[in-house]
Amino acid sequence: MSRAAWLLAAVILAGCGRRVPPPPKPGPPPPIGPETGQTAPGFSLIDSKGVPYSEASFVGRKAQLLVIGTTSCPMCQAKIVDIEAVRLKRGDSVEVAAMLLSETAAKADKYAADFHAGFRMVLDPQNLTMSLFKPGHYPYFVLVDKRGVIRYTGNDLPDDALLEQAAR
Protein backbone atom coordinates (compact mmCIF):
# COMPACT_ATOMS: atom_id res chain seq x y z
CA MET A 1 0.00 0.00 0.00
CA SER A 2 1.37 3.40 -0.92
CA ARG A 3 2.01 5.99 1.74
CA ALA A 4 -0.83 8.21 0.40
CA ALA A 5 -3.31 5.30 0.43
CA TRP A 6 -2.23 4.37 3.94
CA LEU A 7 -2.75 7.98 5.18
CA LEU A 8 -6.16 8.12 3.48
CA ALA A 9 -7.18 4.84 5.16
CA ALA A 10 -5.97 6.16 8.53
CA VAL A 11 -7.98 9.37 8.14
CA ILE A 12 -11.13 7.45 7.13
CA LEU A 13 -10.75 4.98 10.01
CA ALA A 14 -10.13 7.80 12.48
CA GLY A 15 -13.46 9.32 11.49
CA CYS A 16 -15.31 6.03 12.03
CA GLY A 17 -14.81 5.99 15.76
CA ARG A 18 -17.26 7.38 18.26
CA ARG A 19 -17.03 11.12 18.36
CA VAL A 20 -16.55 12.72 21.74
CA PRO A 21 -18.54 15.93 22.04
CA PRO A 22 -16.57 19.01 23.00
CA PRO A 23 -16.79 19.98 26.66
CA PRO A 24 -19.60 22.41 27.46
CA LYS A 25 -18.71 26.06 27.42
CA PRO A 26 -18.66 27.49 30.90
CA GLY A 27 -21.64 29.71 31.57
CA PRO A 28 -22.05 32.44 34.12
CA PRO A 29 -21.97 31.29 37.72
CA PRO A 30 -25.34 30.91 39.46
CA PRO A 31 -26.51 34.05 41.21
CA ILE A 32 -25.42 34.34 44.81
CA GLY A 33 -27.26 36.54 47.24
CA PRO A 34 -26.17 37.66 50.67
CA GLU A 35 -24.46 34.94 52.65
CA THR A 36 -24.68 33.79 56.23
CA GLY A 37 -23.00 36.31 58.53
CA GLN A 38 -23.71 39.31 56.31
CA THR A 39 -26.12 42.08 57.18
CA ALA A 40 -29.51 41.69 55.51
CA PRO A 41 -29.99 44.10 52.62
CA GLY A 42 -32.35 47.02 53.08
CA PHE A 43 -35.84 46.87 51.62
CA SER A 44 -39.19 48.55 52.09
CA LEU A 45 -42.41 46.80 51.04
CA ILE A 46 -46.09 46.74 52.02
CA ASP A 47 -47.95 43.72 53.35
CA SER A 48 -51.38 42.58 52.12
CA LYS A 49 -53.06 44.73 54.80
CA GLY A 50 -51.25 47.89 53.63
CA VAL A 51 -48.82 47.95 56.57
CA PRO A 52 -45.20 48.87 55.71
CA TYR A 53 -42.62 46.10 56.14
CA SER A 54 -38.89 46.78 56.01
CA GLU A 55 -35.74 45.35 57.50
CA ALA A 56 -35.52 48.47 59.67
CA SER A 57 -38.89 47.59 61.24
CA PHE A 58 -37.63 44.34 62.76
CA VAL A 59 -33.95 44.94 63.53
CA GLY A 60 -33.57 45.04 67.30
CA ARG A 61 -37.08 43.67 67.81
CA LYS A 62 -37.51 40.10 66.50
CA ALA A 63 -35.77 37.58 64.28
CA GLN A 64 -37.40 37.15 60.87
CA LEU A 65 -37.97 34.08 58.74
CA LEU A 66 -38.49 35.38 55.21
CA VAL A 67 -40.14 32.92 52.84
CA ILE A 68 -39.67 33.97 49.21
CA GLY A 69 -42.10 32.48 46.71
CA THR A 70 -45.40 32.81 44.90
CA THR A 71 -48.97 31.79 45.60
CA SER A 72 -48.98 29.50 42.56
CA CYS A 73 -45.82 27.57 43.51
CA PRO A 74 -46.74 23.97 44.47
CA MET A 75 -43.54 23.57 46.50
CA CYS A 76 -44.41 26.73 48.47
CA GLN A 77 -47.90 25.42 49.09
CA ALA A 78 -46.49 22.08 50.28
CA LYS A 79 -44.33 23.84 52.90
CA ILE A 80 -47.07 26.03 54.41
CA VAL A 81 -47.98 23.55 57.15
CA ASP A 82 -44.33 23.37 58.27
CA ILE A 83 -43.91 27.15 58.06
CA GLU A 84 -47.08 27.66 60.10
CA ALA A 85 -45.74 25.19 62.69
CA VAL A 86 -42.61 27.35 63.03
CA ARG A 87 -44.79 30.43 63.52
CA LEU A 88 -46.89 28.72 66.18
CA LYS A 89 -43.87 27.34 68.04
CA ARG A 90 -41.54 30.34 67.77
CA GLY A 91 -43.92 33.25 67.19
CA ASP A 92 -42.85 35.05 70.34
CA SER A 93 -39.25 35.30 69.10
CA VAL A 94 -39.36 34.74 65.31
CA GLU A 95 -41.74 36.50 62.95
CA VAL A 96 -42.58 34.74 59.69
CA ALA A 97 -43.16 36.80 56.55
CA ALA A 98 -43.97 35.41 53.11
CA MET A 99 -42.37 37.64 50.47
CA LEU A 100 -44.77 37.10 47.57
CA LEU A 101 -43.45 37.94 44.14
CA SER A 102 -45.79 39.72 41.69
CA GLU A 103 -48.92 39.17 43.79
CA THR A 104 -51.89 41.38 44.66
CA ALA A 105 -53.24 41.90 48.19
CA ALA A 106 -56.47 40.06 47.33
CA LYS A 107 -54.60 37.05 45.96
CA ALA A 108 -52.23 36.99 48.96
CA ASP A 109 -55.10 37.12 51.47
CA LYS A 110 -56.99 34.36 49.62
CA TYR A 111 -53.82 32.25 49.62
CA ALA A 112 -53.39 32.76 53.39
CA ALA A 113 -57.05 31.83 54.01
CA ASP A 114 -57.04 28.82 51.68
CA PHE A 115 -53.89 27.36 53.26
CA HIS A 116 -54.57 28.47 56.86
CA ALA A 117 -51.39 30.52 56.99
CA GLY A 118 -51.35 32.87 59.98
CA PHE A 119 -48.12 34.58 58.99
CA ARG A 120 -47.66 37.92 57.27
CA MET A 121 -48.11 38.17 53.50
CA VAL A 122 -45.71 40.80 52.14
CA LEU A 123 -46.28 42.01 48.60
CA ASP A 124 -43.34 42.37 46.25
CA PRO A 125 -44.89 43.62 42.99
CA GLN A 126 -41.52 44.71 41.56
CA ASN A 127 -39.75 41.45 42.57
CA LEU A 128 -37.22 43.38 44.64
CA THR A 129 -36.45 40.33 46.76
CA MET A 130 -35.26 38.54 43.62
CA SER A 131 -32.47 41.07 43.14
CA LEU A 132 -31.68 41.33 46.85
CA PHE A 133 -31.63 37.66 47.87
CA LYS A 134 -31.20 35.86 44.50
CA PRO A 135 -33.19 32.72 45.30
CA GLY A 136 -32.59 29.78 43.01
CA HIS A 137 -35.80 27.81 43.61
CA TYR A 138 -38.94 28.44 45.63
CA PRO A 139 -39.61 28.46 48.42
CA TYR A 140 -36.42 30.18 49.49
CA PHE A 141 -35.86 30.82 53.18
CA VAL A 142 -33.81 33.62 54.71
CA LEU A 143 -33.41 33.66 58.50
CA VAL A 144 -32.37 37.06 59.84
CA ASP A 145 -31.51 37.46 63.51
CA LYS A 146 -32.82 40.38 65.53
CA ARG A 147 -29.57 42.30 64.94
CA GLY A 148 -30.22 42.14 61.18
CA VAL A 149 -27.57 39.49 60.41
CA ILE A 150 -28.42 36.63 58.05
CA ARG A 151 -28.15 33.30 59.87
CA TYR A 152 -29.44 30.98 57.14
CA THR A 153 -30.39 30.93 53.46
CA GLY A 154 -31.65 27.92 51.50
CA ASN A 155 -34.55 25.93 50.12
CA ASP A 156 -35.26 24.02 53.34
CA LEU A 157 -36.67 25.41 56.55
CA PRO A 158 -33.93 26.19 59.07
CA ASP A 159 -33.80 23.74 61.97
CA ASP A 160 -34.76 24.52 65.55
CA ALA A 161 -31.17 25.23 66.63
CA LEU A 162 -30.79 27.94 63.96
CA LEU A 163 -34.18 29.45 64.80
CA GLU A 164 -33.27 29.56 68.49
CA GLN A 165 -29.86 31.07 67.76
CA ALA A 166 -31.41 33.79 65.56
CA ALA A 167 -33.94 34.66 68.27
CA ARG A 168 -31.21 35.47 70.83
Q: Give the start-to-end residue ranges of the domains of the chain.
A: 39-167
How much is the pTM? 0.79
- Euclidean distance between CA atoms 120 and 112, whole angstroms: 9
Start-to-end Cα distance in the chain: 85
Would you state the pLDDT for residue 100?
Answer: 96
Which residue ranges of the chain lie beneath pLDDT 50? Answer: none
pLDDT at position 58? 85
CATH number of 39-167: 3.40.30.10
Q: How far apart are the C-alpha atoms of 168 and 158, rounded to whole Å?
A: 15
